[in-house]
């Protein structure tokens, strides 16, 4: 298995708030790796560490074999992400958001235009693409952000609760896009509170509780919800 991203013995604290403790995690090419945990467990913070958006206090975060926080632009081109509301610019249209993301991730103008139109079709947002993101419903803005994350066909996708505002049709479309991405070899790190969705999709599951990795679960194993609650109650 090819390692795309990993953290080792990673610790991180916001001022006066310790969040991550001694975290080890590896994300493999071609795998959907789900991160599950209660509200405030540290999932978003861990994703930011994986992406090199914060500097660990202890331990390491590695992206494509390079230290994540100082990885060169070449590495950044291979990454796509969706982290809540940070992922779209309200003043730009849906199409402009996707194009801007594609350019930022290294596509030339022609390739970015093509990738933008392909992503608009893939995510079924033709009707929304011409509108400013700030004017879109939360779900449609989320679909624009997803199209922007996928457009340049990254080798690593980091998606923080990507289905949170999506309708059932959009969830099905996203599931298809995730599978297509892994079939071309991409690695996906995704957080979700929907354990049925995780059980259905994930190849690997990491449980984080109070900033510590509590377990790695087998999606093919017994009832994921039961496994999750047993772990969380045992850790309390």
Residues that bind ligand ATP (CB under 6 A): 14, 17, 19, 37, 39-45
Smallest gap from Cβ 228 to ligand ATP, in A, equals 13
Characterize 62-90 residue by residue with b for buried, 16 or more Cβ atoms within 10 angstroms of its Cβ, and e for exposed. Answer: bbbeeebeebeeebbebbbbbbeeebbee
Smallest gap from Cβ 231 to ligand ATP, in A, equals 15
Query: Do 219 and 199 meet the contact criterion of CB atoms below 8 Å apart?
Result: yes
Instruction: Please say which residue, 44 or 58, places its beta carbon nearer to ligand ATP.
Output: 44
Instruction: Please say which residue, 93 or 191, places its beta carbon nearer to ligand ATP.
Output: 191
Smallest gap from Cβ 13 to ligand ATP, in A, equals 9
Which one-letter DSSP state was computed for residue 212?
Answer: E
Task: State the Cα–Cα distance between residues 47 and 182, nearest whole angstrom.
Answer: 19
Smallest gap from Cβ 199 to ligand ATP, in A, equals 18
Instruction: Please say which residue, 51 or 107, places its beta carbon nearer to ligand ATP.
Output: 51
Cα separation of the two ends of the chain = 34
Smallest gap from Cβ 128 to ligand ATP, in A, equals 25
Instruction: Please say which residue, 40 or 124, places its beta carbon nearer to ligand ATP.
Output: 40
Beta-sheet strand order (sheet of 58-63): 17-28, 3-14, 58-63, 66-67
Q: Is 160 exposed, middle or buried (0-12, 13-18, 19+ CB in 10 A)?
A: buried
Smallest gap from Cβ 159 to ligand ATP, in A, equals 12
Instruction: Please say which residue, 132 or 210, places its beta carbon nearer to ligand ATP.
Output: 210
Instruction: Please say which residue, 2 or 229, places its beta carbon nearer to ligand ATP.
Output: 229
Instruction: Please say which residue, 222 or 233, places its beta carbon nearer to ligand ATP.
Output: 233
Smallest gap from Cβ 42 to ligand ATP, in A, equals 4
Q: Which two tokens stand for residue 79?
A: 């990454």
Task: State the Cα–Cα distance between residues 235 and 213, nearest whole angstrom.
Answer: 11
Beta bridge partners of 209: 212
From start to end of the chain, where are the E strands? 3-14, 17-28, 32-36, 58-63, 66-67, 79-83, 156-160, 187-191, 204-209, 212-217
């Amino acid at each position: 298995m090819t390692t795309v991203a990993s953290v080792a013995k990673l610790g991180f604290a916001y001022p006066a708030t310790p969040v991550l403790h001694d975290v080890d995690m590896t994300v493999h090419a071609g795998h959907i790796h789900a991160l599950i945990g209660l509200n405030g467990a540290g999932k978003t913070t861990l994703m930011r560490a994986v992406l090199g958006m914060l500097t660990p206090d202890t331990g390491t975060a590695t992206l494509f074999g390079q230290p994540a926080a100082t990885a060169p632009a070449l590495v950044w081109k291979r990454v796509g992400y969706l982290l809540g509301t940070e992922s779209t610019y309200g003043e730009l249209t849906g199409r402009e958001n996707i194009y801007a993301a594609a350019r930022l991730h290294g596509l030339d103008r022609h390739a970015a235009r093509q990738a933008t139109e392909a992503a608009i079709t893939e995510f079924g947002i033709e009707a929304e693409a011409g509108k400013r993101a700030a004017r879109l419903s939360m779900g449609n803005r989320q679909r624009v952000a997803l199209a922007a994350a996928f457009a340049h066909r990254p080798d690593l996708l980091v998606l923080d609760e990507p289905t949170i505002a999506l309708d059932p049709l959009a969830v099905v479309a996203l599931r298809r896009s995730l599978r297509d991405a892994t079939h071309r070899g991409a690695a996906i790190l995704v957080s979700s509170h929907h354990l049925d969705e995780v059980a259905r999709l994930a190849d690997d599951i990491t449980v984080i509780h109070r900033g510590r990795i509590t377990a790695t679960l087998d999606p093919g194993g017994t009832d994921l919800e039961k496994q999750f609650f047993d772990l969380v109650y045992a850790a309390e």
